[in-house]
Chains A and B, each alone.
Chain A
C-alpha cells in the first residue's frame, strides 16, 4: 500500500535554531500533504495543507513565517520550524490524502517528536 516516510522521527534542538521535517511519498505521487501537530494527550490539529507547485494554505492562528511549508515535488513535502522555542515542542505528523483509486485511505507519516531545549 501507500507509504509516507517521515524523517526525522525524533529531534532535539536548541532554542533559536530551525528544524526541517520531511515527508516523502514512496510509491505514489502526493500533490497534497496535510501537516498536523499533536500535543501530549491531545488531538491532531491541522496546521496547514501543502500543494505541489503552489503556496501552502495555513489554518487560522498558525504562523506561516514560523512554520514554513514547502511542497517541492510530487513526492516531497517539508515543514521547517524556524527559530524554535520550547513551546514548539510537539509531535508533528504529515498525511497524504487518498490516491486515485480511493482504496488506500489517508496515509500518515510516522511522526516527528520535536523537543526544543
Chain B
C-alpha cells in the first residue's frame, strides 16, 4: 500500500522567513496530494492541494510543487507569521475521494 514520508519532523523559522516541508510517496498510482494544517485537539484543515496533472499550485503565501517522476511534493510557505505555527500534514490518495494516507507531520514554529 501507499507509504508517505514527511520531513522535517520539526521546523523553526523566524517570522518573515520561508518554510519548506517535503513529502515522498511510494505508490506511483497516487494522483491527489493535499496539505493540512492541524492545531492541537482540532480537526485538520485543508490549506492547499494538487493533482497529478499539475506541477505547481499557489495560493497567496502558500504553494505546493509536485514531481511525479521523483514521487515527491513540497509545501512552501513564504513570509511566515506566528499564526502559521501548527502541525502540517501531507497526504496522498490514488484518486480524489479515495482514502488519504498521511505523512507523519511537521511541527512548524514561527518565532517572532
A16 at the interface (CB under 8 A from B): no
B9 to chain A: closest CB distance in Å? 9
Residues of A in contact, count (CB < 8 Å): 23
* Contacting pair A49 B99 (CB below 8 A): yes
What per-residue 1/0 map shows which CB atoms of B79-112 lie under 8 Å from chain A?
0000000000100000011111111110100000
A108 within 8 Å of B by Cβ? Answer: yes
A113 pairs with B44, CB closer than 8 A: no
Q: How far is the CB of A97 from chain B (nearest CB, A)?
A: 4
Whether the pair B41, A98 counts as a contact (CB closer than 8 A) is no
Report A-chain residues with C-beta under 8 Å of the C-beta of B43.
93, 108-111
Beyond A43-B89, A43-B103, A97-B98, whether A108 also contacts B49 by CB under 8 A is no
B100 and A106: CB pair below 8 A? yes
> B46 to chain A: which residues have CB within 8 Å?
105-106
| In the bound complex, CA of A109 to CA of B95 (Å) | 21
